[in-house]
């Protein structure tokens, strides 16, 4: 009983509705990713807490965090080079692979949703074939969401943990409240006290050794 | 105890359960309004809130009993009385045979909210009081679990994919717990869509919105 309560208390911290600030936080964290820019001015190296960047010389590409790149771009001091995963070919490849494999998620940058949105907003002219890229990313997002949905349908009472590999930050944050709540309810309903003795003994090994099936959504 | 202050828990325990008094009780004539005396005789039926019924059950003063709602269950009551004298078998209004059959047929459309908005919580509590050895086909646990499993799939799909203004009729059938899950999924997808649209992301400070009353 006390074990069950502890579990409930711990889960209640995660069982929180998503609000706007949470998404804004994800975007904030995504802005730490490094991107390549091509400055068109000359500047000395800048020393920040997170690292030193520069020196900036015209037409020489450097790596800076995304927030810095967007800030420079807004002032017209650089052009942003889109990251290599953001080309039409690569994205088409990823989309095909997503559509073919039923349960596996393709490896994508953790913050691909946020990064792509930031770049679309601020660096429209730097991305070749922007409409194509945009629609490809939208499709990839939809396919992955659909996969998450179908995967979550198979959660049963014996699931202790759900493992979703290669999920991106935004997707994780969207399903997390729902998933935590659902798992909690399943756990509560499938408590050993609830399931009668006779059923348990027939189908399972003794309680200590049995953790239930590992419900991974990625086949091994 | 996390449950002591939980509003949902309190409300769940407030649901009425039918109980049979095993001993006479004084001063609680409110339960049995058939005569003027302020007492309840042994063997009389009453509907008590669950928190009261479970405490009295632990003191062996009541036995929670099955209400006579369908013919099938009537026969089982007769055999119940022979088999169990002081054990209690817990059959609630919302767990009668008809509800079970409905759940087995199509769990997604059973109107659980009308019967009992706290279906799952109350069922969990009742399962502690149930005695499984006597009637093994009336277990509450698997019924609850199976019902939740099938309804959960429905909730999952609808919550994430439906447009904001669509209110399916399934929503009115969900218990309190399921509605909570549904709302969390809805709010997260709504927040994501809003973020995707972009636009100004400034939030007005709460203090600015409040108008000062003119001092007169």
Alpha-carbon gap: A39 to the closest alpha carbon of chain B (Å) = 27
Residue A178 is assigned to a structural domain of this protein: yes
Residue A209 is assigned to a structural domain of this protein: no
B143 membership: H or E segment, kind and range: helix B140-161
| C-beta atoms of A178 and B188 within 8 A | yes
Burial class (CB in 10 A: 0-12, 13-18, 19+), B147: buried
Euclidean distance between the first and final Cα of chain B, in Å? 50
> Is the model's pLDDT at B31 over the cut of 60?
yes
pLDDT, one tens digit per residue, over B21-30 is 777 777 666 6
Q: Does B6 touch chain A (CB under 8 A)?
A: no
Q: Please report residues of B whose CB lies closer than 8 A to that of A17.
A: 183-184, 187-188
Residue A46 is assigned to a structural domain of this protein: no
The better pLDDT of the pair A187, A66 is held by A66
Number of domains in chain A: 1
What is residue B83's predicted lDDT score, i.e. its pLDDT?
Answer: 33
What string of DSSP letters covers chain A?
Answer: -HHHHHHHHHHHHH-----HHHHHHHHHHHTTSEEEEEESS-B--EEETTEEE--B-TT--EEEEHHHHHHHHHTTSEEEEPPGGGSHHHHHHHHHHHHH-SSPPPP--TTHHHHHHHHHHH-GGGSTTHHHHHHHHHHHHHHHHHHHHHHHTT--TT---EE-TT--HHHHHHHHHHHHHHHHHHHHHT-TTTS-HHHHHHHS--TTT-----EESS--
Q: Using a CB cutoff of 8 Å and minimum separation of 24, what contacts does B201-204 make?
A: B201/A20, B201/A24, B203/A20
- Averaged pLDDT of chain B: 62
Residue A121 is assigned to a structural domain of this protein: yes
Q: Which two tokens stand for residue B116?
A: 């009992």
Residue A29 is assigned to a structural domain of this protein: no
Residue A34 is assigned to a structural domain of this protein: no
Least confident of B2-11, B64-73, B115-124, B156-165: B64-73
Residue A42 is assigned to a structural domain of this protein: no
Confidence of residue A88 (pLDDT cuts 50, 70, 90): confident
pLDDT, one tens digit per residue, over A155-189 is 655 666 777 788 888 888 888 887 787 777 777 76
The better pLDDT of the pair B40, A117 is held by A117
Alpha-carbon gap: B145 to the closest alpha carbon of chain A (Å) = 6
> Is the model's pLDDT at B167 over the cut of 60?
no
Q: Which chain B residue shows the shortest CA-CA distance from A200? A: B142
The better pLDDT of the pair A113, A150 is held by A113
| C-beta atoms of A182 and B152 within 8 A | yes
Closest listed residue to residue B148, CA positions, set B97, B188, B193, B112: B112
Q: Per DSSP, what are the bridge partners of residue B47?
A: B18
Backbone φ and ψ of A18, nearest 5°: -85, 130
Q: Which two tokens stand for residue B197?
A: 């649209």
Of B127, B132, B148, which is closest to A185 when you measure between CB atoms? B148
Q: Per DSSP, what are the bridge partners of residue B17?
A: B48
**Model confidence pTM above 0.90:** no
What is residue A183's predicted lDDT score, i.e. its pLDDT?
Answer: 77
Residue A169 is assigned to a structural domain of this protein: yes
What string of DSSP letters covers A100-147?
Answer: H-SSPPPP--TTHHHHHHHHHHH-GGGSTTHHHHHHHHHHHHHHHHHH
Q: What is the CATH number of the domain that holds A103?
A: 1.20.58.1020
Q: Report, as an integer, the average pLDDT of A47-53.
A: 86
Q: Which chain B residue shows the shortest CA-CA distance from A138? A: B196
> Is the model's pLDDT at A41 over the cut of 80?
yes
> Is the model's pLDDT at B64 over the cut of 60?
yes
> Is the model's pLDDT at B133 over the cut of 50?
no
Domain extent at residue A125:
82-192
């Amino acid at each position: 009983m006390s074990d069950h309560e502890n579990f409930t208390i711990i889960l209640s911290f995660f069982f929180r509705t998503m609000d706007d600030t949470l998404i804004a936080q994800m975007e904030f964290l995504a802005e730490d990713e490094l991107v390549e820019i091509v400055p068109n001015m000359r500047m000395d190296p800048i020393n920040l807490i997170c690292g030193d960047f520069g020196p900036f010389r015209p037409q020489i590409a450097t790596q800076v965090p995304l927030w810095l790149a967007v800030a420079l771009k807004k002032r017209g001091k650089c052009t942003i080079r889109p990251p290599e995963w953001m080309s039409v070919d690569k994205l088409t490849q990823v989309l095909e692979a997503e559509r073919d494999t039923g349960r596996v998620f393709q490896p994508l940058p953790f913050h691909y949703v946020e990064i792509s949105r930031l770049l679309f907003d601020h660096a429209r002219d730097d991305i070749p074939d922007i409409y194509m890229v945009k629609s490809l990313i939208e499709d990839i997002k939809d396919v992955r969401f659909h996969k998450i949905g179908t995967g979550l349908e198979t959660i049963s009472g014996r699931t202790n943990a759900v493992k979703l590999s290669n999920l991106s930050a935004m997707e994780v944050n969207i399903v997390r409240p729902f998933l935590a709540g659902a798992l909690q309810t399943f756990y509560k309903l499938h408590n050993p006290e609830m399931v009668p003795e006779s059923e348990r003994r027939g189908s399972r090994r003794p309680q200590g050794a049995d953790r239930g099936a590992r419900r991974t959504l990625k086949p091994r | 105890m996390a449950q002591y202050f939980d509003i949902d828990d309190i409300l769940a325990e407030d649901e009425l359960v039918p109980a049979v008094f095993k001993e006479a009780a004084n001063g609680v004539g409110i339960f049995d309004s058939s005569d003027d005396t302020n007492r309840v005789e042994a063997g009389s039926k009453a509907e008590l809130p669950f928190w009261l019924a479970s405490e009295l059950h632990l003191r062996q003063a009541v036995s929670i009993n099955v209400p006579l709602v369908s013919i099938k269950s009537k026969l089982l009551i007769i055999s119940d009385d022979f088999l169990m004298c002081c054990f209690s078998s817990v059959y609630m209004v919302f767990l009668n045979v008809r509800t079970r059959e409905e759940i087995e047929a199509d769990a997604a459309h059973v109107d659980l909210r009308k019967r009992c908005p706290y279906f799952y919580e109350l069922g969990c509590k009742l399962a502690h009081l149930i005695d499984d050895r006597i009637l093994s086909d009336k277990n509450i646990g698997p019924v609850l679990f199976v019902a939740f499993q099938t309804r959960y799939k429905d909730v999952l799909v609808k919550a994430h994919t439906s447009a904001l203004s669509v209110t399916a009729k399934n929503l009115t059938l969900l218990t309190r717990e399921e509605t909570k899950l549904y709302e969390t999924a809805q709010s997260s997808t709504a927040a994501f869509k809003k973020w995707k649209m972009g636009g100004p992301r400034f939030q007005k400070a709460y203090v600015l919105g409040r108008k000062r009353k003119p001092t007169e």
